[in-house]
């Protein structure tokens, strides 16, 4: 037992100096917890965080996402902690003096001069470093621990490919969690990837042989080469010092341009060793169940802490340690609850989860196993000899039972163990059936009872309670880390609201009691064709600005008719009624479709002429289109007549529909391109143009893994491989950016289009109003796996129906502006003043800037800096009109 960490009770008005060495997730968590507890104490905290990296604390668990692009992994900036916290980045702690209670630090900013920081409480959260094997030329390898490591690996992989004129050969040494994440990410980048692992199967520390072999089959099937049961003995290099191969113990030479070590971690305990603190034989600062070290007022958390003889490299134990230390510093009596090594993640696109006694080491434990080698599926539930008490489990290929089983660890299962496997027909327990003391979120140690209490509220009457999923996650922290418990959090929320007699309504609004998906199906089954029919059947009153656009969208996506006919005109919002986007000064923008960003010089000249003749502000958009701003309502038909005659059509920039399909030049011009991205992008845009949907959606097509079209930031991303196309879904920019996730790999053209047809139409049918694809996938039971089952495996038996619905749209599509220009009655909508069709809008204040007119600000108008654009349209060319300043 190490020496206890006792401190004097808080003194009123006293400022307590706390130094946290390390700026990883554990450090961030302990600071958050200290700040949260400060208001409950009588003393004031002064917290200093020392971080060697230049980055603010970031989510190391999600580090592999950085392989797919420079995603922000920040856990929060120091300013979010309030003014009591100072974060010193690029600073290194070089010594501790427990007797004087000081930490010596140095930084480049201070000219490497040593500074002594006094402390009342010191928290060591220095984490670990990657272990490097003692083999010849090991220094030529790289490690995978930090953002900088990952960025350098990505840059090196691209540089090798560019210099060699072929994909880089990358060898990852280590087949554990991080190693497989690295291998999968680099494989997605187009590298030829191999994994060398000393164990006989992958993830041999977390998975049994059956699960490890199932995982290996799936990963090798993705094209990642596996060398199992063998260790590296040397990194071979050429005369210039460049890596050429990894030599294995049996003299096998695995070709390599880049070697990454991921064989384990070594605790960063050098500060503690030098200061004379107790250190475990295998490394790590020895701590007791309060996370106290052998020195008074010095604590250790995360990977550097050795508790019960082990250093743990998982987020849940690190968070638990951080909470214990924060509670102890605040005067509490918390103790470490024990090691929770449950994990659920995706490795190279494969779902893997394990928890509890996954290896069935408990005496007389029973294992219920289901394996389907052809599908790469392995599932095991471990129970006690009573066949009821849950002890643990392992899942590879389909980890959907994990969320239901994890909270029941150590308890009797409500159903037979086999009911939880993919062959089972039993009901998995809903969130409402779980006991209060069951752990719902292992990452943040949140119980079922804590979530229920947040829904009920402090007074038990749901007043001041968290009754929406987003708010519930924020106030309890459940589901905010790995996200695997979100379905149960949502179920708990709905169950508690129902218990309270509150209806969990899915109605569109007070006028339509159906949800959007229910309304869509009802309209489809009954064959309704007009807004009046829909409102008579399913609505009350006159409708509102919520339900009316939804009804119009549902009708448009099913009938492919002109969106303003059959009484649908009054249902649309301003933009759809004008077939253009209204701007802040009441004018409109004109956005012709430019499929795939490809345009002829002749068409480009037409756009330039229109912009010049109508003096329109012109801008190239982020979606490879040209936007013309400042057109008056009555000018829209004139402008579109010119554009339609030149072969343009509406870009639907005003609708909740397909916006753009962005592309790079692909194999047509680029020396790195492996597929014709331009042709594919044009084909996709022409296929899905005009399709009304719950929210706008965008596509991107990249001709190689360099991803110049930023396809993974789109709702649907298509990335070329040497074997075909990888299909990603559920990405978007906007207020809540999301990276698209891999749905299927190496598809031929026909299969790719078929899968996109199914995905888009399934989204159109089932998503909620104004729900983007990313949020839709999150909300679906089963998430991306469910989408994959529906789209790729036709699990619901509706693939033919979805494809037929898309074919109907494609066959019946007609450009809205071309249809408008042919019909005098439709043209009557485009008048600024109904009783005076030829009268122009009132004068518009403009300022000329960078050679173009833009709306004047209020200050510019007051200062007389604006000019007035006014007067009736005057002919300047056949079919056109102009404006005078």
Mind listing the domains of the chain with CATH numbers? 15-129+267-329 (3.50.50.60), 138-263 (3.50.50.60), 349-429 (3.30.390.30), 430-502 (no CATH), 516-572 (no CATH), 656-821 (3.30.413.10), 844-884 (no CATH)
Asked whether 385 and 365 are in contact (CB, 8 A), the reply is: yes
Nearest CA to 573 among 657, 659, 515?
Answer: 657
466 in a labelled binding site: no
Q: What pLDDT, on a 0 to 100 scale, did the predictor assign at position 880?
A: 37
Q: Secondary structure of 267-288 in the HEC alphabet?
A: ECCHHHHHHCCCECCCCCEECC
Q: Is 339 exposed, middle or buried (0-12, 13-18, 19+ CB in 10 A)?
A: middle
Q: What was the pLDDT predicted at 668?
A: 86
- SS in 3 state form for 195-251? EEECCCCCCCCCCCHHHHHHHHHHHHHCCCEEEECCCEEEEEECCCCCEEEEEECCC
Distance CA 76, CA 813 (A): 47
Q: Judge whether 347 and 175 are in contact, CB under 8 Å.
A: no
Whether residue 218 contacts residue 745, with contact meaning beta carbons closer than 8 Å, is answered with: no
Inter-residue contact 22 to 96 (CB < 8 Å): no
Q: What is the pLDDT of residue 341?
A: 73
On whether 708 is known to bind a ligand per the annotation, the reply is: yes
**pLDDT tens for each residue of 352-396:** 888 888 888 888 889 888 887 666 778 899 999 888 899 999 988
Mean predicted confidence (pLDDT) in 468-475: 76
Map tokens 């480049």 to a residue. Answer: 108
In this prediction, residue 4 has a pLDDT band, given cuts at 50, 70 and 90, of very low
CA distance 756 to 752: 6
Q: How many whole angstroms separate alpha carbon 207 and alpha carbon 369?
A: 13
Confirm or deny that 485 is annotated as ligand binding: no
The beta-carbon contacts of 511-514 under 8 Å, at least 24 apart in sequence, are 511/535, 511/539, 511/540, 511/541, 511/542, 511/543, 511/544, 511/547, 512/538, 512/539, 512/540, 512/543, 512/547, 512/550, 512/551, 513/538, 514/538
pLDDT tens for each residue of 423-469: 543 334 445 567 787 777 777 778 888 888 888 887 766 677 777 77
DSSP secondary structure letter of residue 618: E
Contact 718, 699 (CB under 8 A): yes
pLDDT for 725 equals 95
What average pLDDT score do residues 874-885 get?
Answer: 34
Q: Name residues whose C-beta falls within 8 Å of residue 350's C-beta, 6 or more positions apart in sequence.
A: 215, 218, 219, 376, 396, 397
Q: How far is CA 102 from its chain centroid?
A: 41
Both tokens of 680, joined, read 């594919």
Q: Which two tokens stand for residue 552?
A: 């119009």
Q: Say yes or no to pLDDT of 536 above 80.
A: yes
H or E element at residue 124: strand 121-124
- 870 has pLDDT over 70: no
d(CA 766, CA 554): 11
DSSP at 864: T
Report angle CA 680, 681, 684 to the nearest 5 degrees. 85
- 764-817 tens-digit pLDDT: 999 988 888 988 998 888 889 999 999 999 999 999 999 999 999 999 888 888
pLDDT digits (tens, 9 = 90+) for 118-133: 999 999 999 999 899 9
What is the distance between the alpha carbons of residues 57 and 87, in angstroms, rounded to a whole number? 10
The pair phi, psi for residue 565, each rounded to 5°, is: -90, 175
> pTM to 2 decimals?
0.55
Confidence of residue 494 (pLDDT cuts 50, 70, 90): confident
Q: Is 570 helix (H, G, I), strand (E, B) or coil?
A: helix
**Highest-scoring range by mean pLDDT, 143-152, 531-540, 573-582:** 143-152
In three-state secondary structure terms, 782 is: coil
Q: Is 704 annotated as a binding residue?
A: yes
Is residue 841's pLDDT more than 60? no
């Amino acid at each position: 037992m190490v020496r206890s960490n006792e401190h004097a009770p808080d003194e009123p008005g006293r400022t307590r100096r706390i130094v946290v060495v390390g700026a990883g997730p554990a450090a961030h968590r302990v600071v958050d917890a200290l700040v949260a507890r400060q208001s409950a104490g009588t003393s004031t905290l002064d917290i200093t965080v020392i971080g060697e990296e230049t980055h603010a604390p970031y989510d190391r668990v999600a580090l592999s996402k950085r392989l797919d692009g420079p995603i922000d992994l920040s856990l929060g900036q120091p300013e979010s902690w309030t003014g009591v916290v100072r974060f010193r980045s690029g600073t290194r702690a070089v010594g501790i003096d427990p007797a004087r209670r000081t930490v010596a630090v140095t930084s480049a900013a201070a000219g490497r001069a040593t500074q002594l920081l006094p402390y009342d409480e010191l928290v060591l959260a220095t984490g670990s470093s990657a272990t490097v094997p003692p083999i010849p030329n090991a220094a030529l390898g790289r490690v995978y621990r930090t953002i900088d490591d990952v960025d350098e690996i990505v840059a090196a992989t691209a540089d090798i490919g560019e210099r060699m004129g072929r994909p880089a050969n990358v060898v990852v040494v280590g087949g554990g969690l991080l190693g497989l994440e690295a291998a999968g990410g680099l494989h997605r980048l187009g590298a030829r990837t191999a994994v060398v692992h000393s164990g006989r199967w992958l993830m041999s520390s977390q998975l049994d042989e059956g699960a490890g072999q199932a995982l290996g089959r799936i990963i090798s099937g993705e094209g990642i080469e596996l060398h199992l049961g063998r260790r590296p003995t040397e990194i071979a290099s050429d005369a210039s010092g460049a890596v050429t191969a990894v030599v294995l113990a049996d003299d096998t030479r695995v070709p390599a341009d880049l070697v990454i070590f991921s064989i384990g971690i070594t605790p960063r305990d050098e500060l503690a060793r030098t200061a004379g603190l107790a250190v475990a034989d295998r490394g790590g600062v020895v701590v007791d169940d309060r996370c106290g070290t052998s020195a008074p007022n010095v604590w250790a958390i995360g990977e550097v802490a050795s508790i019960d003889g082990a250093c743990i490299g998982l987020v849940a134990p690190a968070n638990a340690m951080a909470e214990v230390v924060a509670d102890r510093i605040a005067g509490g009596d918390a103790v470490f609850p024990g090691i929770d090594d449950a994990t659920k993640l995706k490795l190279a696109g494969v779902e893997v989860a394990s928890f509890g006694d996954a290896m069935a080491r408990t005496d007389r434990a029973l294992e219920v196993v289901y394996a389907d080698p052809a599908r790469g599926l392995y599932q095991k539930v471990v129970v006690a000899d009573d066949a009821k008490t849950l002890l643990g489990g392992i899942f590879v290929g389909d980890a959907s039972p994990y969320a239901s089983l994890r909270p029941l660890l150590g308890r009797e299962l409500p159903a037979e163990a086999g009911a939880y496997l993919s062959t089972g027909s039993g009901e998995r327990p809903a969130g409402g059936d779980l006991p209060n003391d069951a752990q719902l979120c292992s990452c943040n140690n949140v119980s079922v009872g804590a979530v229920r209490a947040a829904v009920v509220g402090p007074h038990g009457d749901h007043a001041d309670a968290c009754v929406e999923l987003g708010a519930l996650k924020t106030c309890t922290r459940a589901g905010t880390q790995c996200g695997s418990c979100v379905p149960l959090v949502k179920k708990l929320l709905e169950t508690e609201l129902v218990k309270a007699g509150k209806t969990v309504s899915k109605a569109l609004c007070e006028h339509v009691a159906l949800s959007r998906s229910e309304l869509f199906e009802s309209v489809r089954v009954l064959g309704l064709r007009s807004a009046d029919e829909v409102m008579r059947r399913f609505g009350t009153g006159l409708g509102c600005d919520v339900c009316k656009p939804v009804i119009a969208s549902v009708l448009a996506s099913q009938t492919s008719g002109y969106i303003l006919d059959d009484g649908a005109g009054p249902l649309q919002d301003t933009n759809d009624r004008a077939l253009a986007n209204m701007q802040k000064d009441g004018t409109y923008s004109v956005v012709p479709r430019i499929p795939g960003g490809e345009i002829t010089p002749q068409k480009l000249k037409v756009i330039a002429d229109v912009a010049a003749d109508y003096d329109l502000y012109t801008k190239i958009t982020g979606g490879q289109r040209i936007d013309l701003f400042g057109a008056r309502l009555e000018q829209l038909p004139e402008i579109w007549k010119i554009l339609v005659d030149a072969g343009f059509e509406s870009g639907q920039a005003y609708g909740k529909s397909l916006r753009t399909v962005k592309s790079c030049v692909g194999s047509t011009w680029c020396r790195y391109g492996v597929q014709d991205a331009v042709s594919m992008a044009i084909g996709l845009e022409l296929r899905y143009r005009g399709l009304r949907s719950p929210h706008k959606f965008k596509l991107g097509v990249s001709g190689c893994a360099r991803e110049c079209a930023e396809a993974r930031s789109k709702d649907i991303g298509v990335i070329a491989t040497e074997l075909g196309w990888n299909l990603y879904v559920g990405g978007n920019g906007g207020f809540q950016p999301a990276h698209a996730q891999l749905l299927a790999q190496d598809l031929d053209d026909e299969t790719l289009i078929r899968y996109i047809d199914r995905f888009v139409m399934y989204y159109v049918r089932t998503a909620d109003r104004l729900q983007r694809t990313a949020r839709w996938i999150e909300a679906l039971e089963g998430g991306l796996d469910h989408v994959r089952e529906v789209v790729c495996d036709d699990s619901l038996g509706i693939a033919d129906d979805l494809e037929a619905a898309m074919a109907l749209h494609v066959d019946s599509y007609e450009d809205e502006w071309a249809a408008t220009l042919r019909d005098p009655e439709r043209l009557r909508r485009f008048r600024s003043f109904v009783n005076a069709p030829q009268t122009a809008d009132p004068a518009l204040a403009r300022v000329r800037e960078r050679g173009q007119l833009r709306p004047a600000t209020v200050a510019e108008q007051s200062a007389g800096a604006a000019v007035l654009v006014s007067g009736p349209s005057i002919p300047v060319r056949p079919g056109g009109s102009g404006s005078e300043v």
